[in-house]
Amino acid sequence: MRTMRTWFLETRPQFLIISLMVVFLGTSVAWYHGYFSLLYFLLALIGLLLVHISVNTLNDYFDYKSGIDLEVKRTPFSGGSGILSAGLLPPVSVGRFGLVCFLLAIPIGIYFVVILPRGWLLVPVLVTGALCVLLYTTHIKRWGLGEIACGLGLGTLPILGAYFVQSGTYTWEVVIAAIPSGILLHNALLLNEFPDVEADEKGGKKTLTIVMGKKKASLLYSMLLIAMYVWIAVWSIAGFMPIFALLGLLTLPLGVKAMKGARHYDEESKLIPALGANLMVIIGTQALLAVGYIIAAIV
């Protein structure tokens, strides 16, 4: 039982709910447009969860191998799981587990490509997502593109994919609905990098926090979060998102808390609550947007 619990913690379950929210949101947009299959929803969710677990465990594995995992200032929201540095699991087993999860997701993607009319249109989304997983720690974060990859791979692309498997097409409306999630996931990584700056720099990573410096990165975080709320408001009022999508603005108080905390990037006592508030903004905003689309479909 203890080993099972350790493996469960290695997947970083506190973040896996994000996968549920993005698939929920993409499916809700499809339902708003008249499409829904419970089977396709469940398959898309399982596929994304497998991919998310894969990137989490592979990130832990490669950070341990590079020595970064031994240098980070671990918090409940950043710095990896801490499982490998504590010697609770064999690193090679964790690396293999990450690869197995990735391989298990492949048949689900192939199924959708084969079974859906014009399923080949899903291929660019799947391939880009796969590259984001496999190259994330070893290459992408060293190229200075980690935040963009996170925003695409766990934010925008899964929503487009979840919508496509329901509807068999892409629309500008779903692109507009997916942009806030891309910003939120970009910001998730950006803020979580603050405690890891010294360790990441030693390990050769080029995060925005390192390249821009903490002060400018903090400002960028706030600007993007404000832009995300403005995006929802503008497109809802313009009619490209249902008016009930304005429910997403209800997380604004948590967003303000996160922005205030981000300004105190060198004060752990204020930064950690900001990391928690940021996670709640990510989960809550997407959940409320999805609920907004469902209400609009019903009404």
Residue 234 domain-assigned (yes or no): yes
Instruction: Give the 3-state secondary structure of residue 75.
Output: strand
Residue 167 domain-assigned (yes or no): yes
Whether 269 contacts 67, CB under 8 Å: no
Q: What is the pLDDT of residue 1?
A: 54
Q: What is the pLDDT of residue 76?
A: 78
Q: What is the pLDDT of residue 94?
A: 95
Question: 121 lies in which domain range?
Answer: 15-298
Residue 30 domain-assigned (yes or no): yes
Residue 139 domain-assigned (yes or no): yes
Q: What is the pLDDT of residue 85?
A: 86
Q: Split the chain (299 residues) into runs of 10 and give each run's mean pLDDT.
A: 83 93 98 97 97 95 85 77 88 95 97 95 96 90 91 96 97 97 96 87 86 94 98 97 97 96 87 94 97 96
CATH of the domain at 273: 1.10.600
Residue 42 domain-assigned (yes or no): yes
Residue 183 domain-assigned (yes or no): yes
Residue 90 domain-assigned (yes or no): yes
Q: The pTM is what?
A: 0.93
Cβ neighbourhood burial of 38 (10 Å; 0-12, 13-18, 19+): exposed
Q: Residue 30: name the closest of 291, 288, 293 by CA.
A: 293
Q: What is the pLDDT of residue 283?
A: 97
For residues 77 and 278, what is the distance between their CA atoms, to the nearest angstrom? 10
Residue 27 domain-assigned (yes or no): yes
Give the total number of structural domains in the chain.
Answer: 1
Q: What is the pLDDT of residue 261?
A: 92
